[in-house]
Structure 1
Amino acid sequence: MLLDELPGFRRRFRITPGAGKIQCEVEDDFHCMSVVVHHDGTIVRGMEADMRRAPWTTCPGAEAKVRQTFVGEALADFGRRSDKRSNCTHLYDLALLAAAHANDDQPLVYDILVSDPLANERRAEVRRNGDCVLWWVEKGFVLQEPAGAAGLRLDKLKPWIASLAAELQEPAKLLQWGNMLANGRTIPLENQSDASKMPPSCYTFQPERKQVAKRVGEIKDFSEGSEQPLDKFEPAW
C-alpha cells in the first residue's frame, strides 16, 4: 500500500523567496507557523513570525524571542548558533531554512509522511517538490531500512546524516524531526499535556514558563480527508 494511503503524520514546509525577503511556513498535526525574513543578501534586517496554531498557551511569546535571536545576524551564521532550546524549536527551524534558501530564485516544498505504527513499524519519507528523495523504516525508535542506516537510533542520526550527499542532508534532518514528532500521534493527549514534567527542550518548557503553560490548540489529522498541510494558506507574495 502506498504511504499516502496509510493513516499517519503529515508535515509540509513551504519556502517562498522574494526580493530581499523569504517566507518559510510549516504545518502538521500539531503546528502551523510562518516566518518572513527580510535581508540584504547577507544580514537579516527584520523578521516577522506568526504562530497560526500552537500547542501551548505560552508559545506565542516565542515570536519575539526568534526575532531577538536572529535580527541583525548574518545569514551564514544561523546554523552555528546553539540557542535552539531557548526558542520555539519550530520557529527556529523555519529561520534556519530561510537562511539556507534566502538567495534562491524558486519556491521549494518539502513533504514529510510518516505512517502510524504497523506491527510497531513506521514507514517514513520526505519529498522535495513532490519527488521522494529519502525514506526509511523505523521500529522502536531504531531504523530498520535502508541497509546503510539499519540499527541507528532515530535521535542519534547526526553522524549518518553528515555522511550523506550534501543535497540529502537538509531533507534528512527534516525527516528525522518529523518522524520524532509523529510519535505524538500514539501518546494519549492526557499524557502529553503537563508541561511541568517536560525537559527544558524548547521555549515553553523553560523553567520560568513550564509551570504556567496550558495545552491548547486544535490537532488535525491530514491523513483523513482531502485537506493537506498549508492548503488554507497562500504565500505572502
Structure 2
Amino acid sequence: MPTAQDYPENPNYGQGRYRRRIRLSRNGNTVHGELEDTNHAFRCAVSHDGHIVTDIQSEVLRIPFDTCPGAAEPIRKLIGLPLCDDVQELIPHTDASGNCTHLLDLVLMAIRHARRPQAEWIYDICIDDQIGAQAARSEIFTNGELTHRWQACNWEMIAPEALKGKVLYKGFSKWANTEFSGDIKEAAFALQKGYFVSSARRYNINAQAGQPALEHRDVMQGVCYSYSTPQIEIAKRTADSARDFSDCPEQLLTFRDPTFT
C-alpha cells in the first residue's frame, strides 16, 4: 500500500472520521453525479441515447493538485461506452493512470445509474480514524440505509467474520467481484475507495501547499492523472484543499469555498 512517511502529521487524527457523499440523479437522458469528501469535490453530467454514452461534462471543484482540472478532458474518452448494469464491465475500457481516480469512479457510477429505476441514489461513507492497532469502523449507507459495516485494521478486514482476513488494497477487486453483486457490490467498491482516501486524514495536507508531486514519484508514479507523465513533472499541491467533515456531514455536497471556516 502507498506510504507517505515524510508528510507532516495531522494533529487531529484519531479524534475524527473521514466522510464522503455521492449523489446520482437522473433528469431525462442525463445523469448528474456529485461527489465531495475530505480531499475532493466533483460534479459530472453524463448524457446518453438509451444505449451508449453521448456526452460527458465535468466540473473539478476542489482537488489536491493544480493539474487535476485537466482530467476533465480525458474522461470524455468514455463517450461511446455502452450503458450497463455492472461498471466492472467497463473497467477494461478505461485508463486509470490517465484519469482522475475519483472523477472516473463518479462517471462510471453515473453511467450505471442511467439504467437504475430510481431517479436519485445517494451514498454516505464514514470511516473512523484508526487508533494505533485497533480496528476502525467503516460504513456506507445507501439512501439512508446501512449497506456495509466493516471493521478493518491496516488494510485488512477484521469483521464481519465472513470477510475476516480479506484485503482492502491490491486484491480487493478479485474477492469483492466474487462476494457481491448489483447495488451491494457497487456500494462495497465505493466503501473500499473511501477507505483508501481516508488514510490521507493522517497527514496535514494543507501544510503541503506548493509541494511538487515529483517529490513522491517513487511511491505514486502512475496512480492517477496528476501523478502520471507529463502532469507529474509540473503538478503542485493546491492551497486549502483538505476539509474536515467529521462533525458536519450536512456540509457535504454544498461545495463551499475550501477557505471557508
TM-score (norm 2): 0.81
2:154 counterpart residue number: 140
Pairs within 5 Å for 1:1-237: 7-67=16-76, 69-76=77-84, 78-104=90-116, 105-120=118-133, 121-155=135-169, 156-166=171-181, 167-189=183-205, 193-196=211-214, 197=216, 198-217=220-239, 218-225=241-248, 227-232=250-255
Mean Cα deviation higher: 72-81 or 140-149: 72-81
Distance 2:179 2:198 in 1: 23
Output the amino acid matched with 1:222.
F
Q: 4+ residue stretches of structure 1 with deviation over 6 A?
A: none
Whole-Å separation in 2 of the counterparts to 1:37 and 1:8: 31
Structure 1 distance, partners of 2:180, 2:235, is 41
- Provide the C-alpha distance between the structure 2 equivalents of 1:147 and 1:60, rounded to a whole number of angstroms: 42
Q: What is the identity, as a one-letter code, of the residue corresponding to 1:151?
A: G
CA offset at residue 188 of structure 1? Answer: 4.0
Task: Provide the C-alpha distance between the structure 2 equivalents of 1:221 and 1:71, rounded to a whole number of angstroms.
Answer: 34
Contact 2:83 2:115 (C-alpha < 8 Å) held by counterparts: no
CA contact (8 A) 1:58 1:209 kept: yes
Q: Which runs of 5+ in 1 are unaligned?
A: 1-5
Is the Cα contact below 8 Å between 2:44 and 2:59 reproduced in 1?
yes
> Quick check: 224-233 or 180-189, which moved more?
224-233
Deviations 1:130-155 (A, max 9, x none): 11111111111211111111112211
> Given that residues 36 and 255 in structure 2 are in contact (C-alpha distance below 8 angstroms), is that contact kept between their aligned partners in structure 1?
no
Report the 3-state secondary structure (helix = DSSP H, G, I; strand = E; otherwise coil) of the residue aligned with 1:154.
Answer: coil
Mark the runs of 5 or more structure 2 residues left unpaired by the alignment: 1-14, 257-261
Please say if residues 148 and 188 of structure 2, whose CA atoms lie closer than 8 Å, have aligned partners that are also in contact: yes
For 2:254 and 2:233, how far apart are their aligned partners in 1?
35
Q: Are the counterparts in 1 of residues 21 and 123 from structure 2 also a CA contact under 8 Å?
A: yes
Taking only aligned residues, the RMSD between alpha carbons, in angstroms, comes to 2.0
Of stretches 69-78 and 169-178 in structure 1, the one that deviates more from structure 2 is 69-78
Q: How far is 1:232 from its partner? A: 4.6
Query: 3-state DSSP class of the match of 2:131?
Result: coil
Contact persistence 2:20–2:36 (CA under 8 A): yes
TM-score, L = length of structure 1: 0.88
Once the two structures are superposed, residues 24-80 of structure 1 have per-residue CA deviations (whole angstroms, 9 ceiling, x without a partner) of 11000000001101111111111110011111000000101111x112332246343
Deviates more, 1:156-165 or 1:83-92: 156-165
Once residues 83 and 103 of structure 2 are traced to their aligned partners in structure 1, the CA distance between those partners, rounded to angstroms, is 15
User: Which one is further off, 160-169 or 171-180?
Assistant: 160-169
Displacement of 1:18 in angstroms is 1.3
